[in-house]
Every structure is written in C-alpha cells, then in structure tokens.
Structure 1
Amino acid sequence: MSARGKARSRALEILFEAEQRSVSASDVLRRRRENTEQVINPYTVQIIDGVTAKQEQIDEFLRTYAQGWTLERMPSVDRVILRIGAWELLFNDEVPDGVAVSEAVALARTLSTDDSPAFVNGLLGRLQQLKPTLLA
C-alpha cells in the first residue's frame, strides 16, 4: 500500500472513531498522538482537516445525489469513505479525479459490504461528472 493509501486508511479510522464516539476528529487525533506510538502521516492530517472543514458541503452533495439513500441510512464506514473520496475529488487538486474515486472504492472493497464498492463508485462517479457545476 502506498503512503497516501496508508494515510487514507488512518484518516478513515480517525474520522470513523470520531463519529462513533461523537467527538471531534482533532480530539481523536490528539489522543492517538499522546497515547500511542502511531506515526500520523501529514497527508492523514490534511484529509482529516479537509473533510472536517468541508463536511457540511460534502454531506449536502452526498444527500442530494445518493439515490434512494439518506446519509443517516448509509453504513457509517461508507459515509466516512464517501466523505474522504468527495473531499479528494472536489477539494484536493493534488489528487487526480480517477484516483480519488478508485481509492475510495478500494477502501469500500476492503472495509465494507459486498454492495458498497459499487455504491461508492456510482455516487463519487456522479459527483465527478457534476464537479464543474458543483464548485461553480
């Protein structure tokens, strides 16, 4: 797994834990730094900060374009994967669009249900198509 792939996985863990515990991701990140020997890649922090800063806008896009699914009904891990993928796709110009989508699909394939990769691919693919108008 690439350094960025590991950073995405670590960001997913931290964002997921924050959501499950109803605490801020920065609190989870701080506790990990204080209480573990875990190395936190700078890109992990960039993802966490980016998703946190843009979460309201990202969630609105996900609500709008997730056909037949409310954000609340989605499995928590899928919701976090979609937030990371949407942030990379829409707000991180360093990551090519196709890479953002494929990396999110790979996380879903590894960490979620059998149906999740197709769902993540479809929703992020739709956002990719609409990207010029979403950010206009």
Structure 2
Amino acid sequence: MAEAPKQQMPARRKARRRALEVLFEADLRDQPPVEVLAGYLERIEKPHPEHLGYAVRLVEGVAAHLDRIDELIGSYAEGWTLDRMPVVDRNLARIAVYELLYVDEVDDPVAITEAVELAKQLSTDESPRFLNGILDRIAEYTTR
C-alpha cells in the first residue's frame, strides 16, 4: 500500500475530532455550528494545521444539511430520539452521515469506522456498537 493513505488517515481523524469539538459546543450552547466554528478558528494558533480545512468542511457541511442528516439518524436510531442520544454520539453520527451522503472521496466503511473509533475514545462503552448499527443501516439505505 502507498504511504499517502497512511498519512491521510491520522489527519482526517484529527479533522473529524476537531469538527466534533465544534459541533459538540454548538449543540450544548444551542448555537449555529458555523458561528461556533468562527470563534473556534480565532482561538487556534497560526499557522493552522493542514487538516483544519477538512474539519471546516465537515462542520459547514453538517450545518448546511443538518435537517436531512438528523432526519436520517432519527429514522434509523431504533428506539432512540436524537434528544436522548449522548451529545458526542449524536454529533459523531452527524459527521459520519454527512460523509456517507456528501463526501465521495471517503468510502462508506471508512466513515463508519472513523465514527466508531472516535466513539471508543470519547463516549460510552455502548456507543461504538450503537453508532455502528445506525450508520450501517443508513449506509445500506443510501447505496440503494
């Protein structure tokens, strides 16, 4: 395997984690993600890390398609409403669904795996399995 994909994955994971931080803050404060993003970008030391561009793309993309993304998550989260989900899980799902629907260069299994891996680090013990199930069902639906 070529070296480039190995180098991209950590950068993309860092970008997803940064996007999660912004979406998490926006969710908790009940503020528009793009407004929180602007403040976040002002606080980051310059020069900005290379992966920041992808983080911005994720936040802006989730914000632009939030209604559709939340509709899908709500439909496929069997027995759960968005409001009942842990904030981390809800926003990891939003990032992954955005990637599933709108980011062609990220394969569906990669988007799902990345959400699950971040859930292992940042959320509850049940979260990885929970997210994997929802995201698998959404990926199956979106590829029909």
Please state how far the C-alpha of 1:32 moved relative to its aligned partner: 2.2
The answer to whether 1:27 aligns with 2:35 is yes
Q: CA RMSD of the aligned region, Å?
A: 1.4
User: Which 4+ residue blocks in structure 1 deviate beyond 3 angstroms?
Assistant: none
Aligned residue pair count: 133
1:87 & 1:100 partners in 2: Cα distance?
A: 9
The answer to whether 1:128 aligns with 2:139 is yes
Q: TM-score, normalised by structure 1?
A: 0.92
2:76 & 2:117 partners in 1: Cα distance?
A: 21
AA matched with 1:2? P
Instruction: Choose the corresponding residue for 1:18, options 14, 19, 26.
Output: 26
- State, as a whole percentage, how many aligned pairs show the same letter: 50
1:91 & 1:81 partners in 2: Cα distance?
A: 15
Please state how far the C-alpha of 1:28 moved relative to its aligned partner: 1.6
State how 1:37-48 maps to structure 2 within 5 Å: 37=45, 39=48, 41-48=52-59
Q: Which runs of 5+ in 2 are unaligned?
A: 1-8
Please state how far the C-alpha of 1:98 moved relative to its aligned partner: 0.5
2:14 & 2:24 partners in 1: Cα distance?
A: 15
Q: TM-score, normalised by structure 2?
A: 0.87
Instruction: Choose the corresponding residue for 1:81, options 82, 86, 92.
Output: 92
AA matched with 1:43? Y
**Maintained 8 Å contact 2:34/2:63:** no
1:124 & 1:55 partners in 2: Cα distance?
A: 16
